[in-house]
Amino acid sequence: MSLEEREGGRRVKLQLSKGGHVMKSIGAFIFTIVVTAAMISSCNEDTTNDPGGSTPDASLFAHVTQTDPFTSYTLFPNADSVTSGTLNGSTAHQPLIRVSMNDTAFSVLQAGVLPPGTRFPNGSVVFKEIITGGQTSLYAVMMKDIASEFAGNGWLWAEYYPDGRVAISVEGNGSACVACHSLEQGLQNDFVRTFERQN
Ligand code: HEC
């Protein structure tokens, strides 16, 4: 019909115009539904089939809960496993915390400490669970990723609820975090503060 319309010129087009218009409207309507459905289903695919996640926050969350899950991390050495922090700035996360790290981070420690001048390598994750009423209620995450546009002092910084909702976005480049993580021995320990409460 569209061919006829184009080649037949104005007269044919006029004759068809009423029915054609309706057909076109229905066609456009169906097209819109199909495209919308395709968009919705592809969005779903992004979050369910792509463990990398579709946003920087989803990607980091997937990394620390699926790809390299925090449940497999090593507890921060020589520090109480669960504690109410007593450091300068411990008030940031209360009442109880549990800090652990992945193998990449742990691999550079010697006798539990970061040797002078050493930096955590890319891919290091240090993970703090905030425990409320006996349950983990918040995840605070630091992941070394020097080249990322979201890095703040070489680390990605974010906070999530256990269901994946974002409390502090990684896209803030650690603006809510790095100042306090530079206090006390933060600078010499590559911004990791838990070294200060080792036994
Ligand atoms: C007011 C100070 C302060 C602020 C702000 C702060 N932190 Fe911390 N953070 C600490 C201290 C102190 C520790 C050491 C453990 C403790 O005592 O809570 C710590 C520990 C951590 C740890 C475990 C690794 C380590 O450094 O020992 C992570 C991960 C972490 N914080 C993430 C964050 C993120 C992400 C933000 C920003 C959204 C943030 N923190 C903001 C003070 C702070």
Residue pLDDT, tens place only, 152-193: 999 999 999 999 999 999 999 999 999 999 999 999 999 999
Model pTM greater than 0.95? Answer: no
Strand order of the β-sheet with 96-101 is: 74-75, 96-101, 125-132, 135-144, 155-160, 166-168
Nearest-atom number in ligand 1 for the CA of 191 is 26
The whole-number pLDDT of residue 156 equals 98
Q: Is 155 in the pocket of ligand 1 (CB under 6 A)?
A: no
For residue 184, count CB atoms less than 10 angstroms from its CB and return exposed for 0-12, middle for 13-18, buried for 19 or more: middle
Q: Whose CA is nearest to atom 32 of ligand 1?
A: 140
Mean pLDDT, all residues of the chain: 82
Instruction: Please tell me if the CB atom of residue 93 comes closer than 6 angstroms to any atom of ligand 1.
Output: yes
The fraction of the chain above a pLDDT of 90, given in percent, is: 62
Q: What are phi and psi of 54, to 5 degrees?
A: -105, -5
How do residues 2-37 score in pLDDT, each as one tens digit? 444 444 444 444 344 444 454 455 455 544 544 444
For residue 42, pLDDT over 50 is answered with: no
Q: In angstroms, rounded to a whole number, what is the distance separating the alpha carbons of residues 166 and 64?
A: 14
| Whether the predicted pLDDT of 41 surpasses 90 | no
Encode pLDDT of 111-134 as tens digits. 999 999 999 999 999 999 999 998
Asked whether 130 lines ligand 1 (CB < 6 A), one says no
Range 42-78 burial, b when 16+ CB lie within 10 A, else e: eeeeeeeeeeebeebbbbbbbbbbeebebeebeebee
The pLDDT, as a whole number, for residue 80 is: 85
